[in-house]
Amino acid sequence: MSEPAIKTEPQRIIGRDKDMFLAEENPFEAMMERFDHAAQLLNLDPGLYKVLRNPEKQIIVSVPIVRDNGDVEVYTGYRVLYNTSRGPAKGGIRFDLNVTLEEVKALAAWMTWKCALVNIPFGGAKGGVVCDPSAMSMTELERVTRRYTSGIIETLGPDSDVPAPDVNTNERVMAWIMDTYSMHHRHTVTAVVTGKPIEMGGSLGRREATGRGCMIVTREALARLGMSLKGARIAVQGFGNVGSVSADLMAREGATVVAVSDKSGGVYDPKGLDVADLLRWAGERRHLSAYAKAEHITNEQLLVVDCDVLIPAATENVITRKNAPNIKAKVICEGANGPTTAAADKVLEEKGIFVIPDILANAGGVTVSYFEWVQDRGGYFWDLETVNRRLESIMERSFHEVLGLVDKHKVSTRIACYMLAVDRVAAMHRLRGMYA
C-alpha cells in the first residue's frame, strides 16, 4: 500500500498517553482519532481531508422561557450540521444538563458516517439543549422545545435538516417540533422530523428499530464466530429504548439475558433473567434498583460479567483502557453512541473481542427514520412486516460489506466501518467538486 497522504497532528496519533487522555476526555477527538486512521488507510487527498474534518455549520442559540412560577430562565441550545453532501442532515435532539458543543459536534460527525455506512441518502447532524427535563413540567418542556425550534428553524426542513428523538426527547417532543415548523410555514410538513407518533406520519417499527438492528448484527457477528444467538449469554448496560428492545428481541430468539442495568444500577442472574418481567417492572416503576428477583450489581460490574455478548446501550465512554482488560464478552455490540474510547479499542483488539461499532450497531434507528421520511414524502405508508424486512436487508448487507473490508485490509471492524463510510462521503465530494 502506498504511503498515506495525510499526516495527522501529533496529538491524534494512537498510542501516546497524552493522546489517549485527550481522546477519552473529548468525544470529538475520540471520534476523529478513528477518522484519521481511516483517512490514512484510504490515502485521502489532503484538501478533502480538511473538508471532512470540519463541520459545515455550528449553531448556538439562547432559549429563553417563562417558567410556570413566572421566573424567566435562559437555556443554551446547539445544532451542528456536519456534512450534507449526500443529502439532508439527519440527527437527533437531546435535552440534558451534560450537552456540550463538542459532544454535539462529535455526534453529528458520527451521524454522517453512520448514514454513509448503511448507504442511505442523508448527511449528519445533531442538536441539544442544556437543561434538566426531569425538573420541568410538561408545559415548560413544550416552551423549551418550541423556542429552540424557532431558534434553529432556518436550517430545518425535509430537504435540509431532519431531527429525530435522542436522549430525554421522544415522540411528543417531535410532535411539537413538527407543529412549530408547520405553523411557521403555514401548512403541515410531516417530513421535517422523524420519530413522530404514528398518527402524525410516524413509521411502524421506528421505536424498536435501533434495538432490532442491534439484534440483527449481533446474530451475524455470532455466526461469524461459529456461534448462535440461541443460547448466547447477553449482558445489557442501559435498559432504555435501545437496551430493553435488544434484550427482549434476543430473548425471543432464544438468547439468555444474564444482566441488565439502568441509571439506578443493574441486576444479574447467571441462569438468565425474566426479560418480560423486567420490562413490566421498568414500565411500572421506572428503575431497577428495587427489583428483588435477581442479584444486584453496579453498572461497572455489569461490563465485566461472564457473558458472550456485551451491549453497552447507555452513554459514551463507559469502556475505557482501565476496564477493557477485564471484559469477558466475545462480542461487543455498541448500542450507544461512543461507548468505547479510542484508547480501549487497542485493548479489545488485542483480546480478540469482536466489536460491532456504534455507527453500524445502532444504525437501525436512522434506517427506519429514513423509511419514515420516505413514507411521509410519498404519502404512502408501509406495514410492519415491510419495514422490518427492509431494515434486516440493509443491516445484513452493511454488516457483510464491513466484513469484506476487514478481510481485505486486515483492519478492525471499527476502522473498516470508518473506511467504508468516509470513502462514500469523499466520493460524493469528488463527484460534486468544490463550489467557489
Catalytic residues, which ones? 126
- The answer to whether 111 and 124 have CB atoms below 8 angstroms apart is yes
What is the DSSP secondary-structure string of 209-225? HHHHHHHHHHHHHHHHT
Distance CA 154, CA 162 (A): 12
- What is the torsional sign of CA 23, 25, 26, 30? positive
Beta-bridged to residue 155, according to DSSP, are: none
Supply 35's cell numbers.
Answer: 477518522
> Of the candidates 364, 421, 355, 371, which has an alpha carbon nearest to the alpha carbon of residue 392?
364
Distance CA 4, CA 42 (A): 8
Beta-bridged to residue 358, according to DSSP, are: none
Distance CA 356, CA 349 (A): 12
CA atoms within 13 A on the CB side of 298: 3
Q: What does each C-alpha distance from 379 to 89, 112, 163 come to in angstroms? A: 21, 26, 19
Q: What does each C-alpha distance from 133 to 62, 125, 138, 194 come to in angstroms? A: 17, 22, 9, 21
Local structure of 356: helix, strand or coil? strand
> Of the candidates 27, 12, 11, which has an alpha carbon nearest to the alpha carbon of residue 106?
27
Sheet holding 354-356, edge to edge: 295-297, 265-268, 256-262, 233-237, 309-312, 331-333, 354-356
- The answer to whether 228 and 271 have CB atoms below 8 angstroms apart is no
Sheet holding 89-95, edge to edge: 57-66, 72-83, 123-130, 89-95, 161-165
